[in-house]
Amino acid sequence: MSGKPRLTYLNGRGRMEPVRWLLAAAGVEFEEIFLETREQYEKLIKDGVLMFQQVPLVEIDGMKMVQTRAILSYIAGKHNLYGKDLKERALIDMYVEGITDLMQMILVFPFSPPEAKAKNIDSIKERATNRYFPVFEKVLKQHGQDFLVGNKFSWADVQLIEAILAVEEKIPAVLSGFPQLQAFKKRMSNMPTIKKFLQPGSPRKPPPDECYVETVLKVFKK
Amino acid sequence: MAGKPKLYYFDGRGKMESIRWLLAAAGVEFEEEFLETREQYEKLLQDGSLLFQQVPMVEIDGMKMVQTRAILNYIAAKYNLYGKDLKERALIDMYVGGTDDLMGFILIFPFLSAEDKEKQRAFIVEKATSRYFPAYEKVLKDHGQDFLVGKNFSWADVHLLEAILMVEEKKSDVLTGFPQLQAFKARISSIPTIKKFLQPGSQRKPVPDDKYVETVRRVLRAYDNMKAN
């Protein structure tokens, strides 16, 4: 019994990946339990540990937390990655929510039918380059600081670097035309905790493959 | 110049309704500007008022805030409806996450075909009675207190009442079998600010109708092809 946070999810990115990123960025070690069978999931439900019968589940500080946003907000608050006051928190929340909307498109992508995939990549590219990346490019250009909010590393920076890398996996040249974001990406990738997370052998999960999709469908059998 | 928050959205519930509820519950007066034409929306875009080109947008304390959750978090914290510490906030966030998911199923309802509406109505009731209501019923039963978190009125209570009333609009007897929630509904509805919001003439918006759907589709040029869950 370690006192480390314990994550319960599938062995893949999904909705848990931002939690892995944030814990890693905060330098917090964690344990993971991977759902592989329907029976494991049904046992969790029967044991009453999933408030809304859903994962992610993170056991942390005596709580069995569900709801990804709640979990992330708690971790950010606990580890001083949530700004210094209400207004900085407001900015971080706005940025994180916008990035989450973009990441949602990537989240559902593996589950789209083969004939829709090309169109979905185009949609992701369109949203990233016309709606989301320009906002953060402008934020960074206007204040000229290293971090998005309050001249200090925060949850918003972690969420943005995660999103940049995820979109680049689909559209490799997506950052051309965004020099601030290119510099941001480099800076964030070199931060010690993030650099460590980006190395092989870290808890970071690979892009979802067919095996992951199959496991999701099998375990949750909707 | 009032200093009151100003809400930019359609004249209808949508994603802005939870914000209206929370401001009202906190006893905060607010102004509203209703989007009725594409031109209004394009002007907001051109003015750079919408960070991600979307509404809701709320002008509050010198900020043009977007992203419903960010706006709600800010209001909750500002008006002391967000618990007394990180752990209470965590509980509130979890509970609000659940009611948000439930209300999300209702959010798309007006945009569905007649046939899909019936399917969705059944889906909403099923999720409410088998997943969400039991969770909150248990919370209230286990601690026996008036409010969901920390013995104090919070955002979680406002959000749950809003969700209960919305589901009841789809099936009026849906709280049968949930005695704690019935008592909760009566208690929270009688809090003065909420009681006032529930009366005719308040800024609470009615159940969305075809006119609302038509306005949203016309102004945003979107949501023409929504499917049931």
Tens of pLDDT along B16-26? 999 999 999 99
Q: Is B61 on the interface with A (CB under 8 A)?
A: yes
**pLDDT given for residue B225 in this prediction:** 87
Which stretches in chain A have pLDDT values below 50?
Answer: 1
Q: Which ipTM value was assigned to this complex?
A: 0.97
A65 to B63: CB separation less than 8 angstroms, yes or no: no
Residues of chain B numbered 13-42 and touching chain A (CB < 8 Å): none
Kind plus residue range of the DSSP H or E element containing A59? strand A57-60
SS3 (DSSP) at B5:
coil
**pLDDT given for residue A221 in this prediction:** 79
Q: Which CATH number fits domain B86-190: 1.20.1050.10, 3.30.479.10, 1.10.3720.10, 3.30.9.10?
A: 1.20.1050.10
**pLDDT given for residue A222 in this prediction:** 59
A93 to B67: CB separation less than 8 angstroms, yes or no: yes
Q: Which range is least confidently modeled, B80-89, B90-99, B132-141, B217-226?
A: B217-226
Strand partners of residue A9: A34
Tens of pLDDT along B143-202? 999 999 999 999 999 999 999 999 999 999 999 999 999 999 999 999 999 999 999 999
Q: Is A132 on the interface with B (CB under 8 A)?
A: yes
Q: What is the mean pLDDT of chain B?
A: 97
Strand partners of residue A34: A9
CATH of domain B6-79+198-220: 3.40.30.10
Q: Are the C-beta atoms of residues B159 and B100 closer than 8 Å to each other?
A: yes
Backbone angles phi, psi at A124, to 5 degrees: -60, -45
Closest chain B residue to A135 measured between Cα atoms? B51
Q: Is A98 on the interface with B (CB under 8 A)?
A: yes
Q: Where are the domains of chain B?
A: 6-79+198-220, 86-190
Strands of the A6-10 sheet, one edge to the other: A31-35, A6-10, A57-60, A63-66
The reply to whether B86-190 shares the fold of B6-79+198-220 is: no
In sequence order, what E strands does chain B have? 6-9, 31-34, 57-60, 63-66
**pLDDT given for residue A2 in this prediction:** 60
**What confidence category does residue B224 fall into, taking pLDDT thresholds of 50, 70 and 90?**
confident
Backbone angles phi, psi at A151, to 5 degrees: 55, 30
0.80 surpassed by pTM: yes
B67 to A97: CB separation less than 8 angstroms, yes or no: yes
**Does residue B78 carry a pLDDT above 80?**
yes
Q: How many CB pairs under 8 A join A and B?
A: 79
In sequence order, what E strands does B142-224 have? none
**pLDDT given for residue B1 in this prediction:** 46
* Termini Cα distance of chain B: 44
B67 to A98: CB separation less than 8 angstroms, yes or no: yes
Tens of pLDDT along B93-141? 999 999 999 999 999 999 999 999 999 999 999 999 999 999 999 999 9
Share of chain A above pLDDT 70, in %: 99
CA–CA min distance A189, chain B (Å): 25
Mutate to test the interface with A, among B78, B91, B94, B100 (most CBs of A within 10 A): B94
Share of chain B above pLDDT 90, in %: 96
B89 to A66: CB separation less than 8 angstroms, yes or no: no
Tens of pLDDT along A138-185? 999 999 999 999 999 999 999 999 999 999 999 999 999 999 999 999
Q: Residue B106, CB half-sphere, CA atoms under 13 Å: how many?
A: 27
Closest chain A residue to B97 measured between Cα atoms? A67
Task: List C-alpha distances in Å: B51 to A102, A129, A138, B156, B220.
Answer: 14, 14, 11, 27, 16
**Span B82-92, mean pLDDT?**
98
For residue A121, what is the DSSP state? H
Q: Which domains does chain A have, with CATH numbers?
A: 6-79+198-220 (3.40.30.10), 86-190 (1.20.1050.10)
